[in-house]
Amino acid sequence: MANEVERAILAAVPELDAVQTHLEPLGETGLGTRPGDVEVERDRVLVNETVREVTGHPPRALRFVHTDEGLVAFLTLGLDGGADLREAHRRASEVEARIRMRRPGIVDVVVHTEP
Q: Assess whether pLDDT exceeds 90 at residue 29.
A: no
pTM value is 0.74
Better-scored residue on pLDDT, 93 or 16: 93
Domain 26-114 has CATH 3.30.70.1350: yes
Task: Supply the pLDDT for residue 28.
Answer: 56
Residue 112 identity:
H
Task: Supply the pLDDT for residue 30.
Answer: 60
User: Which residues face 108 on adjacent strands?
Assistant: 72
Check if the beta carbon of residue 99 is closer than 8 Å to that of residue 47.
Answer: yes
Q: Assess whether pLDDT exceeds 60 at residue 34.
A: yes
Burial 24-41 (b: 16+ CB within 10 A, else e): eeeeeeeeeeeeeeeebe
pLDDT tens, position by position, 81-111: 777 888 889 999 999 999 999 999 999 999 9
Task: Supply the pLDDT for residue 33.
Answer: 84
pLDDT tens, position by position, 46-94: 999 999 999 999 999 999 999 888 999 999 998 887 778 888 899 999 9
Task: Give the start-to-end residue ranges of the domains of the chain.
Answer: 26-114
Distances 17 to 9, 81, 114 between C-alpha atoms, Å? 11, 21, 21
